[in-house]
Amino acid sequence: MSDHEFHPTSTFAVWANAFTPQELDRIEVIGDGLTAEEATIAAATSYGEVRDHIRVTRTAWLMPAPETRWIYDRMQRVTRSLNDRVYQFDLSGFSENLQYSVYHAAEGGHFDWHVDQGPVLENRRKLSLSVQLSESSHYEGCDLEFYGGNKTETAPRDRGSVIAFPSYMLHRVTPCTKGTRKAIVAWTTGPQFR
């Protein structure tokens, strides 16, 4: 991973070409072989609630296993590097499995403005990551956007890019209007901010 592949912005950081096209194809085959379910959200009243007006996504969990270990290893290296260069958060590592997320235009796929609070754990989510699996030409809409500093910024759609951002950053995935977008989502945790 060379320096020219790393791009920080005011709200997120990008590591371009973190995975090769062949590796991305392999990840998609693994992800598509999983049983995806309608995603839920954590609500103030009840955890694991389905709210279509907020989120329409199909998700499955990439469990740590011999065939997925290389994905976890790569994500850990990229996460450490991005964190060391930009955020310097006190991180413990991944306390949740990687999530395979699929947004279909036919289902109105989207995820409205939110932060990645996650389940109540001893360690809180601190750094969120999204891996762009789909070619940008395979879908329309479905942009990963961030709101910070009184403006909205859109993450690049380049296949193989890893987008990293503080889990408390307000973000969304705009409605998918054509095709399908696939991504891997990961969260690193650590002790409370001080």
**Is residue 45 a part of any domain in this protein?**
no
Average pLDDT of the segment spanning 41-69: 75
Q: What's the mean per-residue pLDDT of the chain?
A: 88
Residue 65 inside a domain? The answer is yes
Please report the pLDDT score of residue 49 as a whole number. 53
Contact 112, 54 (CB under 8 A): yes
What tens digit of pLDDT does each residue of 131-168 get? 999 999 999 999 999 998 889 999 999 999 999 999 99
**How high is the pLDDT of residue 17?**
94
* pLDDT exceeds cutoff 60 at 45: no
Count: domains in the chain: 1
Domain contains 126: yes
The residue segments making up the domain with residue 114 are 3-37+55-154+166-190
Joined tokens for residue 26: 């392999």
110-124: average pLDDT: 80
Flag whether 46 is in a domain.
no
* Confidence category of residue 51, pLDDT binned at 50, 70, 90: low
**Looking at residue 87, which CATH number applies to its domain?**
2.60.120.620
- Is there a domain that residue 42 lies in? no
Asked if residue 171 is part of any domain, the answer here is yes
Q: Which residues touch 46 (CB under 8 Å, ≥6 apart)? A: none
Does a structural domain hold residue 170?
yes
In a domain, 48, yes or no: no
Closest by CA position to 167, among listed 121, 109, 136: 121
User: What pTM value is reported for the model?
Assistant: 0.89
The residue among 145, 140, 165 whose CA lies nearest residue 156 is 145
